[in-house]
């Protein structure tokens, strides 16, 4: 009887280990945030005010501190039409891991749900603190095309010319309706993009120029880019993230 009980306990324990969602076979976890604490972990992230992620002068977004809320298990970035700082039309939220975490190569994953409607540019991307480019966009969305994922790279060749790979992927549904996982496996020779665990794109171009450690940026820009009709944009609007996890090969 004792032997049977011990076997049952060991079986239950092994089942719990196997079901640990953070573990990934063949990989070692190097960074994660499950956003379960009800507040931003400033040991992992910074949220300094920032005037636009792509072009400071042309951006219509002011990234403000504390421009987010929390549920029991997610962080929600808030895009608002009212901005009292920065001389911008809108304000929204951004966090980045540059003070605490940078990594070259590995598996980078997010589980998130997009804002609804036109006018928003949510993104999960990697960039170097040394120089720009390089940059890897694990995903970008222009929300007037809610089922089209943008998967980009930016790098400089030996002549100093900028390159990018703008080709993306079409989903079967609106990415604001449900949570999805988005990820890359970045190695020295290639980058593979994943949607909900399925491979959607592979690139072998430019990877030899991605020679810097990069940090994570998550943001929800308000933008007229891609002919988005701001007259139809609704505020406040929300970009929700369940978790971020990063691994390196064992």
Residue 23 lies in a domain: no
Residue 187 lies in a domain: yes
Q: Which domain holds residue 112?
A: 28-249
Looking at the 3D structure of the chain, how many domains does it have?
1
Residue 1 lies in a domain: no
Residue 47 lies in a domain: yes
The SS3 of residue 14 is helix
Dihedral of the alpha carbons of 181, 152, 56, 65, in degrees to the nearest 10: 20
Residue 13 lies in a domain: no
Q: What is the CATH number of the domain that holds 229?
A: 2.60.120.200
Is the distance from CB of 214 to CB of 126 less than 8 angstroms?
yes
State how far the Cα of 105 lies from the Cα of 125, in Å rounded to an integer: 13
Residue 12 lies in a domain: no
Close Cβ partners of 222 (under 8 Å, ≥ 6 residues apart)? 60, 61, 79, 89, 90, 92, 119, 120, 121, 230, 233
DSSP H or E run through 65: none
Instruction: Render each residue's pLDDT in the chain as its tens digit; 250 residues.
Output: 545 444 344 444 443 444 577 999 999 999 999 999 999 999 999 998 765 545 555 788 989 999 999 999 999 999 998 766 667 889 999 999 999 999 999 999 999 999 999 999 999 999 998 888 899 999 999 999 999 999 999 998 778 778 887 778 999 999 999 999 999 999 999 999 999 999 999 999 888 889 899 999 999 999 999 999 999 999 999 999 999 999 999 9
pTM summary value: 0.89
Residue 10 lies in a domain: no
In order, the DSSP letters of 29-45 are: EEEEE---SSS--TTT-
Residue 18 lies in a domain: no
């Amino acid at each position: 009887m004792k032997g049977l009980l011990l076997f049952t306990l060991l079986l239950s324990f092994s089942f719990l280990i196997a079901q640990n969602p953070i573990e990934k076979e063949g990989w070692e976890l190097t960074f994660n945030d499950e956003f379960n604490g009800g507040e931003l972990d400033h040991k992992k992230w910074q949220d300094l005010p920032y005037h636009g992620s792509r072009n400071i002068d042309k951006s219509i977004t002011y990234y403000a501190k504390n421009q987010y809320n929390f549920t029991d298990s997610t962080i929600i970035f808030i895009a608002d039409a009212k901005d009292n700082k920065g001389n911008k039309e809108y304000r929204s939220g951004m966090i980045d891991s540059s003070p605490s975490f940078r990594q070259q190569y590995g598996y980078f994953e997010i589980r998130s749900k997009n804002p609804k409607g036109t006018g928003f540019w949510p993104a999960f991307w990697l960039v170097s603190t040394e120089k720009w480019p390089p940059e890897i966009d694990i995903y970008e969305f222009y929300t007037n095309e809610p089922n089209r994922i943008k998967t980009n790279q930016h790098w400089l060749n030996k002549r100093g010319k900028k390159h990018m790979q703008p080709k993306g992927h079409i989903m079967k549904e609106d990415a604001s309706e449900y949570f999805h996982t988005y990820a890359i496996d970045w190695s020295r020779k290639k980058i593979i993009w994943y949607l909900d665990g399925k491979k959607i794109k592979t690139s072998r171009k430019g990877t030899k120029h991605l020679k810097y450690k990069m940090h994570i940026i998550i943001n929800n820009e308000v933008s007229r880019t891609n002919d988005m009709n701001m007259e139809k944009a609704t505020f406040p609007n929300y970009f929700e993230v369940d978790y971020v996890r990063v691994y390196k090969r064992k």
